[in-house]
Amino acid sequence: MKLAVVILAAGQGKRMKSDLPKVLQPLAGRPLLGHVVSRARQLDPASIHVVYGHGGEQVRAAFEGESLEWALQAEQLGTGHALMQAMPRIGDDELVLVLYGDVPLVDPQTLKQLIAATGPKAMSLLTVMLADPQGYGRIVRNARGAIQKIVEQKDASRAQLKIREGNSGIMAAPARLLRRWLGKLKNSNAQGEYYLTDIIAMAVKDKVKVAPLLAGSLAEMLGVNDKVQLAELEALYRAARARELMLAGATLADPARIDVRGVVNVGRDVFIDANVLFEGEVSLGDRVRVGPNVVLRNVSVGADSVVHPNSILEQSEVGSGCIIGPYARLRPGSKLGRDVHIGNFVELKKTVVEDGSKANHLTYLGDATVGKGVNIGAGTITCNYDGVNKSQTVIGDGAFIGSGNMLVAPIRIGKDASTGAGSTLTRDAPEGQLTLSRSKQMSIEGWKRPVKKPKE
């Protein structure tokens, strides 16, 4: 059977006290709904349907360009009613998996087990054992342990409220049967809504097997209703990512103080200090050391390189044996060869620095190519932007750039050239020669510094 995933994402999320729709609230740098869509894609479904409502256009705009089917729930009449909105675009021969836009951490392996337990005459349901089931629908079983129905908390009897097995809401069922059951739903309950959970009793009545699957952890089925729960989920996500890094061989100075907002691949004997933030795709080679308070965003760092504290690297490539920082910044498009030193308060943008070159202090290199074995003195700037155009600076192998240089692009510094400290260069510097440009130094006899008038 083809798989159709339906994600219910129409809730307003009033308790968030935010203008941002609940399913767009960020978890690890991505919208809650983005996490659910990503997990759904890992199941290789024929289609993914998102039922949206509050803040609908904002939600759709956030996922523009993604291959999603959208269904509007104009009135919030319950989960059963929400699922009905997606069913017209789903064929009777398909299998429907129901997920929730505010339940982002369900394991794709769990979902695969749930799907495997479903067939033409069988549906499946994800449940969880809870120490405190407050707020959850209760799973009611008969004396033989078979599921009979789900009772929502507001409709539960005192005896049913003592049941510890809770409903996640996540289920899978054949579309043909699901469509029939949804058509029979009634809203005669405490909330006046069409509960999707009522189809369980209908399945039992129709002698359709209801296969329960107990979730491996509570985190898999935790939803988000307010900022406190969002923070709790963030902590669980962070802990899971930290565990993955440690199992992959990384040493973390403090697993509780690391944020992974993307995919991180690590080599052997990598060390990561506290308060490091990873975003996008990050690769760390063998024996890389990352200092505290570092941001790595879509970056690859070669073996044996060190990133010192408070550095920011984004959309860049760092070769092996490099030393970065502290307080260095690599902006998008930067690429370092082997054994390159980029020191404190040095900024690169769209710059290639080849093997063995150094810029150790207070320097800006933008739109530049720096050859091998170059030394760039403190306070050097490539003046690459004239307000309209950005121009290139090329520095040849073995060049020595004096401190406090202004290199006005477009400009080329030749191989093994040297430039004098304090120079402003507007023309190319030839190979192997010293080039400098300084105004004449003067001392003005008799000059006095202005003095402020005393206050009256």
CATH number of the domain enclosing 84 = 3.90.550.10
Note whether residue 234 is domain-resident. no
Q: Is 175 helix (H, G, I), strand (E, B) or coil?
A: helix
Q: Say if CB 100 and CB 5 are below 8 A apart.
A: no
Regarding whether 343 and 301 lie in a shared domain, the answer is yes
Share of the chain above pLDDT 90, in %: 86
Share of the chain above pLDDT 70, in %: 100
DSSP state of 442: -
Note whether residue 239 is domain-resident. no
pLDDT band at 51 (very low <50, low <70, confident <90, very high): very high
Least confident of 81-85, 279-283, 359-363, 437-441: 437-441
User: Per the structure block, which two tokens stand in for 312?
Assistant: 């920011």
pLDDT of amino acid 377: 97
Q: Is 167 helix (H, G, I), strand (E, B) or coil?
A: strand
Regarding whether 134 and 277 lie in a shared domain, the answer is no
Catalytic residue among 35, 49, 81, 361: 361
User: Per the structure block, which two tokens stand in for 237?
Assistant: 């996500």
pLDDT of amino acid 69: 97
Q: Are strands 2-9 and 47-52 parallel, antiparallel or unpaired?
A: parallel
Regarding whether 261 and 190 lie in a shared domain, the answer is no
pLDDT of amino acid 397: 98
- The angle formed by the CA atoms of residues 422, 426 and 429, to the nearest 5 degrees, is 80
**Alpha-carbon dihedral of residues 5, 9, 10, 11, nearest 10 degrees?**
140
Domain of 381: which CATH number? 2.160.10.10
Note whether residue 226 is domain-resident. no
pLDDT band at 11 (very low <50, low <70, confident <90, very high): confident
pLDDT band at 152 (very low <50, low <70, confident <90, very high): confident
Residue 137 CA to residue 202 CA, distance in Å, equals 17
Q: Over 90: is that where the pLDDT of 192 sits?
A: no
Residue 218: phi, psi to the nearest 5?
A: -65, -35
Amino acid, res. 378? A
The Cβ-side half-sphere exposure at 367, using a 13 Å CA radius, reads: 16
Q: Over 90: is that where the pLDDT of 136 sits?
A: no
Summarize pLDDT for 282-312 with one digit per residue, the tens: 999 999 999 999 999 999 999 999 999 999 9
Summarize pLDDT for 231-280 with one digit per residue, the tens: 999 999 999 999 999 999 999 999 999 999 999 999 999 999 999 999 99
With tokens 């932007």, the residue in question is 385
Note whether residue 400 is domain-resident. yes
Q: Are strands 276-284 and 258-266 parallel, antiparallel or unpaired?
A: parallel
Note whether residue 440 is domain-resident. no
Q: Is 12 helix (H, G, I), strand (E, B) or coil?
A: coil
Number of domains present in the structure of the chain: 2
Regarding whether 254 and 366 lie in a shared domain, the answer is yes
Q: Say if CB 97 and CB 115 are below 8 A apart.
A: yes
Regarding whether 288 and 193 lie in a shared domain, the answer is no
DSSP E strand stretches across 338-410 = 341-349, 352-353, 358-366, 368-370, 375-376, 381-383, 393-395, 400-401, 406-408
Regarding whether 328 and 180 lie in a shared domain, the answer is no
Q: Over 80: is that where the pLDDT of 360 sits?
A: yes
User: Per the structure block, which two tokens stand in for 39?
Assistant: 């997990």
Regarding whether 293 and 406 lie in a shared domain, the answer is yes
Mean pLDDT of 80-98: 97
pLDDT of amino acid 1: 87
Summarize pLDDT for 380-408 with one digit per residue, the tens: 999 999 999 999 999 999 999 999 999 99
Summarize pLDDT for 304-337 with one digit per residue, the tens: 999 999 999 999 999 999 999 999 999 999 999 9
pLDDT of amino acid 12: 81
Which is nearest to 33 in space by CA: 242, 223, 282, 259? 223
**Is 361 a catalytic site residue?**
yes
Regarding whether 359 and 263 lie in a shared domain, the answer is yes
Q: Within the chain, what is the greatest distance between any pair of CA atoms?
A: 107
User: Per the structure block, which two tokens stand in for 360?
Assistant: 């150790």
pLDDT band at 340 (very low <50, low <70, confident <90, very high): very high
Residue 170 belongs to what domain range? Answer: 2-221
The residues pairing with 303 across neighbouring beta strands, listed in sequence order, are none
Q: Over 90: is that where the pLDDT of 454 sits?
A: no
Regarding whether 156 and 26 lie in a shared domain, the answer is yes
Regarding whether 59 and 109 lie in a shared domain, the answer is yes
Note whether residue 408 is domain-resident. yes
Q: Say if CB 279 and CB 297 are below 8 A apart.
A: yes
Note whether residue 229 is domain-resident. no
Mean pLDDT of 37-62: 94
With tokens 């003046």, the residue in question is 383
Regarding whether 78 and 161 lie in a shared domain, the answer is yes
pLDDT of amino acid 421: 97
What are 301-310's contacts with CB under 8 Å, separation 24+?
A: 302/338, 303/267, 308/344, 309/273
- C-alpha of 368 from chain center: 30
Regarding whether 188 and 258 lie in a shared domain, the answer is no
What's the predicted TM-score (pTM) here?
0.87
Q: Over 90: is that where the pLDDT of 32 sits?
A: yes
Mean pLDDT of 367-376: 98
Note whether residue 230 is domain-resident. no
